[in-house]
Structure 1
Amino acid sequence: MKVKPRDIPAFISEPPGALAVFLVFGPEGGLVRERAQTLVRALIEDPDDPFAVSRLSEDDLKSDPAALGDAMAALSMIGGDRLVRLRLSGDSAPAASWLKDFQAGHAPAEARLVIEAGDLKKGSRLRKLAEEGDRCAALACYAESGGDIVRFAEELLAEERLSLAPEAKAFFVPLIEGNRQLARAEIEKLILYKGTLEQRGQEAGLISRDDIADVCAAAGDAALDQVVDPALLGDAAGADRGYGRAMASGLSAVGVLRALQRKIDQIDVAAASGGDTGAMMRAGVPRFGPPADLFRQQSRLWTGRRLEHARKLAFDAERAVKRSGAPAEAIVGELLIRIARGAQSARR
């Protein structure tokens, strides 16, 4: 079935129980990821449970075309629901072949499947099969307008009884327009900056233009890039020096961690959108000059499973900062060294 764009928010919040396969695709990679994550949370109790959720990439299917079929046919080791997540940059012959067999009743499905893909054209075999299948759903995600982004921001802020001043709204939209996932990260930083509803004693708050200038990535990216970029390129010494300067200048370790996570997301979004200049624009990174060349170098080093591993390392570091009680500076410093070593390995 084909889900109409206006129906997607409600659909992913309560997906029909009869459906087994969900294809989330489109040129707006941040929105694809955002909606896929919402869908996954609605389908499985714990999206981070490795026993309940299997993850596959495009590289996995290229090296083993039967990997998807094996993952979908596997029984749960501990009982309960299972989910398979597959991430693609575009059309995939192995995925389309499995989906065709599934619809014909020749491929068992002991789990539900969520596929994230890039911009699939109408002639895409995978898209056509998902749109026509009785137990499948196709959800197309296209770039949102400024008004859509504003509504999204206002909904998140309203949960914390925060609102945007008129001049702040006009300033904020150009910074976040074009990528839902990056927009969410900036909105969450604003909430932390102003204080959660509980921290403010249940009082309403107003976000000014100055608040946004103080908090948003555009205001502090240059200093953070001096830490994150060397790490992603394999320059451990450079990353360590940049990290030391960042801490001495008053930047937070958590801010560095967020910058690293944001750059990982940007590399991922650009790759999922085809990796060309237009993809870089959708990822929110420079398209020309030395910064663009630097991003392309990083993108060549961080692909497939290596990029997913970097994302997991950053997630584990974030969890450790929140739960372990260890100094955030030490946890993030160790993370940067591990990322740099990963890039060094990719260069060999």
Structure 2
Amino acid sequence: MILAKRPEIDRFLSRPEPGIRAAVIHGKDRSGVAERATTLCKTVTPDLNDPFNVTLLTDTDIDADDGRLEDALTAMSLMGGRRLVRIRLGNEKASTDKALAAALKIHADGGYNPDAMLVIEAGGLGRDSALRKAAEASKGAVGIACYEDETGDVARMTREALAAEKVSLSSDALDRFVSRLPRERGLMRQEIERLILYIGPGSGIQLGLDDLEAHLGVEPDASLQDAALQAFGGKAAAAQSGLRRALAEGESSVVAVRQVSIHLGKLRRINILQNAGAGAKEAAKAAGVFWKQEAEMLRQARAWRLPELDQVLESVNSADLATRTTGMPEALIVERLLLEISARARRMGL
């Protein structure tokens, strides 16, 4: 079964139908996929770290042991409650895709533990993906594609997050803030949280446009923004210099990757708006581009088209994960990412 409309997706994620035993949530916005998967998983069990009722697997786990997935899906709860099998895919290997598709078909038809819920988080699955086809064709499973949030959805998300902390923005300030936000869910949430801290949680204050501009003008990570700008412009040495300066000033590698993702998001936004008929300056303004950087951003956007940006997004997501989970030197991970982007930019003539 396919879920495509936002109201039906939100309704399913909060109250899944009893006959559904599997869900494949996929999209290029990894944090958006993870957020929706977490919402769904919490309807199965409130404690996602429960060692008795929750099994978390990756594609590496499945590739290393052919029987591990079947064991997880057939296992019964030892302590009562419903079983949850959650799978996070880090790549799109054809062999893993087919293996998961076969297991999903059996489980959706009740062939394993019929009380278990299978939730699979994946990247951007194409229409030729066996896993995606299996989820969309089965009556006992759903396929949910995560696309970029529309401006209205982002505004609603911002209003709700602010209201929960008893603060708000005026209508013109909200429009301005939303236009500046990256379109990646995780980064979006971080920027909204930073704004809430700036206003003061629980203060009851409504921020106007002038006060918001003061907040937007505070850029503690300006060196990282410059590093991202230089990398996408093909200037490797300048990008390295900006990164090292920022790290020396106490900025973190996690924030450095975030700035690369924000810059990529702005280029994507410019592309999408121009493809929809917007003028160059109009698109740059709507994407939240600082006026002093407008000419350079538009120069980059002419070379960095959506297919090229999507390729880089995979590298950005990998670097983000690596800076949080691996034992590799974080600064080296970010520097390698900037050099990769710079090299791609130079090959495109920037």
State if a TM-score over 0.5 links the two structures.
Answer: yes
Q: How does 1:1-348 map to 2 (within 5 A)?
A: 1-5=1-5, 6-76=7-77, 80=81, 81-90=83-92, 92-108=97-113, 111-176=116-181, 178-197=183-202, 200=203, 204-213=204-213, 215=215, 219-224=219-224, 242-245=246-249, 247=250, 256=252, 259=255, 262=258, 303=318, 308=321, 310-311=323-324, 339=330
Residue type of the alignment partner of 2:324? R
Question: CA separation in 2, counterparts of 1:152 and 1:211?
Answer: 21
Partner of 1:326: none
State the 1:341 CA deviation: 8.3
Residue type of the alignment partner of 2:32? L
Question: CA separation in 1, counterparts of 2:268 and 2:227?
Answer: 26
Please tell me whether the aligned partners of residues 22 and 141 of structure 2 are also in contact (alpha carbons under 8 angstroms).
yes
Change (3 A) 1:155 1:166: same
CA deviation digits over 1:93-152, x for unaligned, max 9? Answer: 111121123245544466322112233344432222212323212222222221221122
Regions of 4+ moved over 6 Å: 225-228, 238-241, 263-266, 296-299, 341-344
CA deviation digits over 1:73-109, x for unaligned, max 9? Answer: 3445655443323335557111112112324554446
Question: CA separation in 2, counterparts of 1:219 and 1:209?
Answer: 17
Runs of 5+ in structure 1 lacking a partner? 229-237, 248-252, 271-276, 314-334
Please tell me whether the aligned partners of residues 24 and 121 of structure 2 are also in contact (alpha carbons under 8 angstroms).
yes
Please tell me whether the aligned partners of residues 322 and 333 of structure 2 are also in contact (alpha carbons under 8 angstroms).
no
SS in 2 for 1:119: coil
Change (3 A) 1:143 1:218: farther
RCO higher in structure (CA 8 A, sep ≥6): 1
Question: CA separation in 1, counterparts of 2:29 and 2:315?
Answer: 21
Question: CA separation in 2, counterparts of 1:96 and 1:71?
Answer: 15
Question: CA separation in 2, counterparts of 1:26 and 1:129?
Answer: 16
Please tell me whether the aligned partners of residues 225 and 260 of structure 2 are also in contact (alpha carbons under 8 angstroms).
no
Question: CA separation in 1, counterparts of 2:13 and 2:111?
Answer: 27
TM-score by length of 1: 0.63
Residue type of the alignment partner of 2:41? V
State the 1:56 CA deviation: 2.5
Residue type of the alignment partner of 2:255? A
| Structure label with greater radius of gyration | 2
Question: CA separation in 1, counterparts of 2:87 and 2:73?
Answer: 10
SS in 2 for 1:54: strand
Please tell me whether the aligned partners of residues 162 and 205 of structure 1 are also in contact (alpha carbons under 8 angstroms).
yes
Please tell me whether the aligned partners of residues 302 and 343 of structure 1 are also in contact (alpha carbons under 8 angstroms).
no
Backbone CA RMSD of aligned residues: 4.9
Please tell me whether the aligned partners of residues 101 and 107 of structure 1 are also in contact (alpha carbons under 8 angstroms).
yes
Residue type of the alignment partner of 1:311? R
Question: CA separation in 1, counterparts of 2:260 and 2:53?
Answer: 25
TM-score by length of 2: 0.63
Question: CA separation in 2, counterparts of 1:125 and 1:61?
Answer: 16
Question: CA separation in 2, counterparts of 1:307 and 1:259?
Answer: 9
State the 1:191 CA deviation: 1.0
Runs of 5+ in structure 2 lacking a partner? 229-241, 273-286, 288-296, 336-350
Residue type of the alignment partner of 1:134? K
Question: CA separation in 2, counterparts of 1:129 and 1:342?
Answer: 36
Please tell me whether the aligned partners of residues 264 and 311 of structure 1 are also in contact (alpha carbons under 8 angstroms).
no
Change (3 A) 1:300 1:143: closer
